[in-house]
A = this chain, B = another copy of it.
Amino acid sequence: MLNMELQANESTVEETEIAEEPFYLSSGNEQRVFLAAYKRRLPLLLKGPTGCGKTRFVEAMAYKLNKVLTKVSLDKEAGELKAKVSDFSARKSFLVTVPCHEDLTANDLVGRFFLTMDQGAQWVDGPLTKAARYGGICYLDEIVEARKDVTVLLHSLTDYRRVLPLTKKGTVVTPPPSFMLIVSYNPGYQSALKDLKPSTKQRFVALDFDYPDERAEVEVVRRESGCPEGLARSLVAAGRKIRGLKTQGLTEGVSTRLLIYAASLVVEGVPKEDAVRTTLVSPLTDDEHMKLSLLDICRGFDLA
């Protein structure tokens, strides 16, 4: 019987420390562009397919910029709602990542008033305001999914004013130089309905991302799954061939993450065929013919 039961850890967004340097293999000048943009206080737009490393790049750069937090002891007894504003000011800068979705509104990012019994309405910063106030990095993942009031909210942060209006509170936050706004989107499946307006896009320096090159990907798969190099090579080769099918009916090629999943299952003793079937085939398509094609590709690399 497996026994992995432990108590969960709950921490405030600001306390979430990136303990060790995230593993990131650079594939061009993206780090140089990042640092130049950071220094010039320009906002960044990351474009690229699912699972190609955009989030990881952001975290690696945040680590480089020393965007970690000292552990601040919150008055847990009093509850989050009563946390004094002074508690926050002692902190160093940080990275906050917000996955965007259709119901994400500007208020979710900016903050809102909470009604408390003893102190009346208390303002609580949202993640974007927290980053703006304490000079952190705010990373809005898949920005096109957010409600439209979010994208226009970004305008005042990304032109020469560089301020964040807290409309409900009637104030304006002028972030310190260390604040940086990063957004990402996947050009692969944008519809006409869901796209950034030109007036929004033109406010960002845009970096294009793609899957890592073959050598780097083998290294990642091996390292993350603990599998032998031979298996990693076969999986990456199969994955690259599968990505080539994208124009033939696959909405999106296989991500590095799924290659790591496959390797991990094999390491745990799952037969290769079951491992690739459940990671490189079934998550990609519901079509039976396409499934057979994918399995055939895997067989060609001795994986099924």
Contacts and interface: CB of A to CB of B under 8 A. Distances in A.
A281 B45 CA distance: 12
A289 interface: no
A10 B133 contact: yes
B40 A264 contact: yes
A273 to B, nearest CB: 9
Given A152-B145, A257-B202, A9 B115 contact: no
Contacts of A1: 64-66
B101 A103 contact: no
A73 B181 CA distance: 31
Interface string A124-158: 10010000111100000110010111011101100
Contacts of A201: 283-284
Given A36-B265, A202-B252, A205-B261, A283 B152 contact: no
Interface in A19-37: 28-29, 32-33, 35-37
A108 interface: yes
A6 B66 contact: no
Given A8-B175, A190-B286, 6 more contacts: A2-B38, A8-B134, A9-B173, A117-B119, A202-B258, A207-B278
